[in-house]
């Protein structure tokens, strides 16, 4: 398997270097990734890897392939959240929770890149606590009438399919809202501290008539579906965190070996050497735990609690690594065009989305009977 994984990694590297790296600076200035990249990624086989082959996917349930693609996005200093949400989150829901008719309607486009997918949970008054969701869907004949607002939606502008969490009569339900649905509109593009090329915006639903045929699974079962999907989503975030921490450490080690101060490389000063040794140890531990969690996910044994541990610990480590590495770069690290400054900015949101660190610890605490 190692050779197969390595071949796939090299394919990802080649694709990203040819089709994304030369244009990424412009996408960051624009605040959005060109849709053409999605089409090229689909043609290369990098979208819908877990989707059955009859719908255009690779039919590969092994999460390792998703992790490799995310890692190579990070290593190439490219924007990752949109692809992670599309591949690792929404495509999984559409593969495992949909009817045959829905699969035929949506999955081929998700795999080809013709349809970009997003997930809409967060609201102005409902972040990590999905129980506070206020968006409502009222059944009227063969439609649901959707009213409410979502915010901080990754790929919110590019998205053709939005998996939307909404309150129905006796609980939460999941509806797919398609581009062009009457009553569905998007707010202005939100400017963020990091991930500049990740289009993020608010979504508005005003008497939005969504066909009942777009209901995912059973009505009022959305909470159970979300809880079942969270381990995969949080592991995806942890994958990005570990890859980013490894990348920042590698680049900082190179810098500390060559940057001179007081007649010697700054990495040879004992304080700096100890900081680098500590980071190297912690990043190694994070990688081992991540690989353990991926193996558990592949066998269906990754629990919500273990995923929460991976999510909070790796993302907090990413932020710590980013801060220490920027400090070691000194003034050069603070320059806007510096790779480490961009990594520092991109890192900060990792402890927030997908459930804040505080929510992760609350979940773990409850598992301890506290």
For 236-284, what is each residue's pLDDT tens digit?
999 999 999 999 999 999 999 999 999 999 999 999 999 999 999 999 9
pLDDT beyond 80 at 129: no
What is the CATH classification number for the domain harbouring 24? Answer: 1.10.540.10
153 with 75, same domain: the answer is: no
359 with 243, same domain: the answer is: yes
The residue among 115, 140, 158 that closes a domain is 115
pLDDT band at 130 (very low <50, low <70, confident <90, very high): confident
Query: What is the structure's pLDDT at 75?
Result: 96
186 with 275, same domain: the answer is: no
The residue among 219, 236, 261 that closes a domain is 219
248 with 300, same domain: the answer is: yes
| Residues contacting residue 249 through CB under 8 Å, at least 6 positions apart | 276, 279, 280, 283, 321, 325
227 with 361, same domain: the answer is: yes
362 with 228, same domain: the answer is: yes
Q: Which domain holds residue 343?
A: 223-367
The residue among 172, 201, 219 that closes a domain is 219
21-58 pLDDT tens trace: 999 999 999 999 999 999 999 999 999 999 999 999 99
146 with 110, same domain: the answer is: no
Q: Which residues are catalytic?
A: 233
Rounded Cα distance, 266 and 341, in Å: 19
The total number of structural domains in the chain stands at: 3
In the block, residue with structure tokens 């940057």: 259
What is the CATH classification number for the domain harbouring 172? Answer: 2.40.110.10
| Residues contacting residue 125 through CB under 8 Å, at least 6 positions apart | 132, 134
Instruction: Encode 352-364 in three state secondary structure.
Output: CCCCCHHHHHHHH
162 with 95, same domain: the answer is: no
What is the CATH classification number for the domain harbouring 301? Answer: 1.20.140.10
76 with 110, same domain: the answer is: yes
233 with 353, same domain: the answer is: yes
Q: How far is CA 272 from CA 9, 12, 266, 276, 279, in A?
A: 33, 34, 7, 6, 11
230 with 341, same domain: the answer is: yes
Query: What is the structure's pLDDT at 96?
Result: 96
275 with 339, same domain: the answer is: yes
Closest Cα partner for 62 from 339, 288, 300? 300
pLDDT band at 128 (very low <50, low <70, confident <90, very high): confident
């Amino acid at each position: 398997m190692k050779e197969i994984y390595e071949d796939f990694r090299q394919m990802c590297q080649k694709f990203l270097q040819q089709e994304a790296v030369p244009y990424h600076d412009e996408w960051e200035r624009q605040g959005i990734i060109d849709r053409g990249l999605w089409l090229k990624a689909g043609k290369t086989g990098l979208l819908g890897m877990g989707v059955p082959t009859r719908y255009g996917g690779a039919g590969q349930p092994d999460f390792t392939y998703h992790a490799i693609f995310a890692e190579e996005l990070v290593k190439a200093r490219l924007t990752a959240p949109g692809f992670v949400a599309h591949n690792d989150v929404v495509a999984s829901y559409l593969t495992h929770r949909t009817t045959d008719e829905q699969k035929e309607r949506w999955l081929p486009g998700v795999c080809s890149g013709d349809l970009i997918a997003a997930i809409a949970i967060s609201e102005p008054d409902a972040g990590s606590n999905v129980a506070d969701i206020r968006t409502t869907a009222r059944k009227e004949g063969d439609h649901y009438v959707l009213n409410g607002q979502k915010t901080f939606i990754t790929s919110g502008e590019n998205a053709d399919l939005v998996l939307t969490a909404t309150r129905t009569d006796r609980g939460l339900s999941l509806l797919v809202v398609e581009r062009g649905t009457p009553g569905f509109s998007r707010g202005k593009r939100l400017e963020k501290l990091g991930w500049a090329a990740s289009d993020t915006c608010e979504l508005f639903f005003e008497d939005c008539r969504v066909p009942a045929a777009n209901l995912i699974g059973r009505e009022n079962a959305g909470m159970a579906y979300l809880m079942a999907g969270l381990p995969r989503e949080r592991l995806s975030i942890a994958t990005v965190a570990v890859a980013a921490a490894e990348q920042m450490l590698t680049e900082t080690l190179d810098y500390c070996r060559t940057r001179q101060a007081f007649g010697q490389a700054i990495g040879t000063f004992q304080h700096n050497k100890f900081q680098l040794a500590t980071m190297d140890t912690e990043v190694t531990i994070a990688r081992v735990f991540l690989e353990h969690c991926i193996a558990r996910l592949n066998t269906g044994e990754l629990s919500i609690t273990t995923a929460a541990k991976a999510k909070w610990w790796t993302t907090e480590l990413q932020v710590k690594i980013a801060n220490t590495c920027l400090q070691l770069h000194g003034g050069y690290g603070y320059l806007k065009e510096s790779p480490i400054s961009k990594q520092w900015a991109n890192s900060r949101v990792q402890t927030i989305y997908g459930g804040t660190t505080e929510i992760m610890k609350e979940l773990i605490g409850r598992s301890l009977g506290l």
